[in-house]
């Protein structure tokens, strides 16, 4: 597996402007996700917090969906070499994600592209490696020049050493 570099983290000028709930290390209440690449798949590992529960002991469903949505966005940046926005997301909750089971694993891969739409498949596994949530996400992808000009996309090379 290869670690993906977060290019926005490296710039100290971003400390006050880069507040992504999913991946900014500067957002104290955020998820602060980091990503690894394994062939065609991206992987994130994350430790759930009790403060993000819905039902007692269960990770809030909205947080589960956010984990899946975030890794989908990183698939667009890494695999399609641009930026995009969520166009549609279908989440299926298979089993509760119990906070007490520890670190969760999120996996995603690109299924297809249809014009400007990227179709991405994502899964969330609990600490026992049981698949608990799946999502099919459609992302609208910007042309790279638009992603760079309007959305601060740094180019795919910025994600690697």
pLDDT at position 56:
96
How much is the average pLDDT of 7-21?
83
Contacts of 57 (CB under 8 A, 6+ apart): 98, 99, 100
Contacts of 128 (CB under 8 A, 6+ apart): 101
pLDDT band per the 50, 70, 90 thresholds, residue 161: confident
pLDDT at position 107:
98
- The pTM (predicted TM-score) of the whole model is 0.95
Q: Would you say residue 14 has pLDDT above 80?
A: no
Under a CB-based contact definition with an 8 Å cutoff, are residues 66 and 86 in contact?
Answer: no
Report d(CA 87, CA 24) in Å as an integer: 22
pLDDT at position 11:
76
pLDDT in tens, 40-87: 999 999 999 999 999 999 999 999 999 999 999 999 999 999 999 999
pLDDT at position 16:
77
pLDDT at position 104:
98
pLDDT in tens, 92-140: 999 999 999 999 999 999 999 999 999 999 999 999 999 999 999 999 9
pLDDT band per the 50, 70, 90 thresholds, residue 17: confident
pLDDT band per the 50, 70, 90 thresholds, residue 154: very high
pLDDT band per the 50, 70, 90 thresholds, residue 13: confident
Query: How remote is the C-alpha of 78 from its chain's centroid?
Result: 11
């Amino acid at each position: 597996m290869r670690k993906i570099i977060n290019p926005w983290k490296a710039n100290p000028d971003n400390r006050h402007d880069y507040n992504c709930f999913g991946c900014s290390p500067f957002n104290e209440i955020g998820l602060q996700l980091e990503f690894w690449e394994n062939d065609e798949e991206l992987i994130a590992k994350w430790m759930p917090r009790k403060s993000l529960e819905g039902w007692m002991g269960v990770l809030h469903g909205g947080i589960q969906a956010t984990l899946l949505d975030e890794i989908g966005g990183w698939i667009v940046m890494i695999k399609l070499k641009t930026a995009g926005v969520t166009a549609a997301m279908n989440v299926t909750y298979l089993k509760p994600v119990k906070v007490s089971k520890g670190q969760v694993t999120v996996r995603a891969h690109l299924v297809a592209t249809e014009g400007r739409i990227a179709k991405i498949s994502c899964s969330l596994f609990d600490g026992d490696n049981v698949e608990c949530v799946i999502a099919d996400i459609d992302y609208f992808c910007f042309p790279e020049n638009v992603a760079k000009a309007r959305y601060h996309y740094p180019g795919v090379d910025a994600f690697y050493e």
